Amino acid sequence: MTTTNPLRTASQRRRLITAALVLATGLAYGLLPGRAEAQSNHIDPKVLRIGYQKYGTLTLLKARGTLEKRLAPQGISVRWTEFPAGPQLLEGLNVGAIDFGTVGEAPPIFAQAAGAQLAYVGNEPPAPVAEAIVVPRGSALRSVADLRGKRVALNKGSNVHYLLVRQLEQAGIPYSEIQPVYLPPADARAAFERGAVDAWVIWDPFLAAAEKQLGARVLADGRGADGRNVVSNHQFYLASRPYAQARPEIVSLILEELATLGTWAQQHPKEATTVLTDETGLPAEVLALAVSRFSYGARPVSAEVLAEQQRIADAFHALKLIPKPVKVAEARWAAPQQQARR
């Protein structure tokens, strides 16, 4: 008769949950294998190809089917392709495998630095509390200033990398005076659980999972002590530049549907959580917390938002995370009505 080791079973369960979270978020930043295969560089007027990830607004849009209904009278179908992370999605965008997708703040900066033909077409409002620096429940660390000399796990070049840089600046701690430990989310969670690091900088839904499942305590999120945003943590919608130039009316229609979806999600958070639970298989309590911190309301990218994105690009260049300076505004897309006013 075979006996089961309960500790091993629990460990396996934790690994499975963490692996599911890695697949469920769009911000794993190239840590998963695989490469998007270009289906065609030709723009098909009857097919809209959207790249999505398991967690976020496009997942909700796909599940609800409202975009398909808007496009059906024009004879346009929607083809959805799932990507494990933002960098792979933007690679697919650049090589012509998809026309439209969504990622966080960091992937388009890296993609633009690599010469990708992308266009910023929209963004969600700031979600500064959807990422945070967390410490174990019993940690003696009480402020960002306490991180001096400590081991801090984070995903290199991600949104939370910028969060850490900005929070250290606010606390007057040089980045060189902490010990960054660059780990993907699954490995970072394991290191955090066993006490191999003193703090972890992470985003939702990993953040929500750490709070709900590990009892992690938030040391600081994207807000400052005065309540103002230290970082914004925007979610961006991007299109391939050739598609945005050829089909601006479709890009505008997608943004309209996303704005409508955002209104629905804000008014029906429980239903949104249920949809995401069904789509991702993640625990409902984890997704409920993550959904409560997401900011809905897709809109065209403003000059102010692009300026914030430029500051992130400059910070990444200063940290030598990208090889050359990037002019973010060069990738801005103007909606048809904006073009007409020029």
| Residue 233: pLDDT over 90 | yes
Taking the C-alpha atoms of residue 254 and residue 270, their distance in angstroms, rounded to an integer, is: 24
Q: Alpha-carbon distance 298 to 121, whole Å?
A: 10
Q: Place 307 in a pLDDT band, splitting at 50, 70 and 90.
A: very high
pLDDT the model gives residue 43: 85
Domains within the chain, CATH numbers bracketed: 47-125+234-341 (3.40.190.10), 128-221 (3.40.190.10)
Whether the predicted pLDDT of 2 surpasses 80: no
Q: What was the pLDDT predicted at 41?
A: 54
Lowest pLDDT segment from 28-32, 165-169, 193-197, 293-297? 28-32
CB 143 within 8 A of CB 219: yes
Residues 227-252 have a mean pLDDT of 94
d(CA 68, CA 79): 10
Q: What is the mean pLDDT of residues 184-188?
A: 89
Give, as one character, the DSSP assignment of residue 249.
H
Burial (CB < 10 A; 0-12, 13-18, 19+), residue 269, is: middle
Reported as a pLDDT band with limits 50, 70 and 90, residue 220 is very high
pLDDT over threshold 50, residue 9: no
In this structure, the dihedral spanned by the alpha carbons of residues 218, 123, 118 and 326, taken in order and rounded to 10 degrees, is: -60
Contact by Cβ (8 Å): 89, 83? yes
Tell if the pTM clears 0.95, that is, is over it. no
For 249-278, how does the pLDDT look when each residue is reduced to its tens digit (9 = 90+)?
999 999 999 999 999 998 999 999 999 998
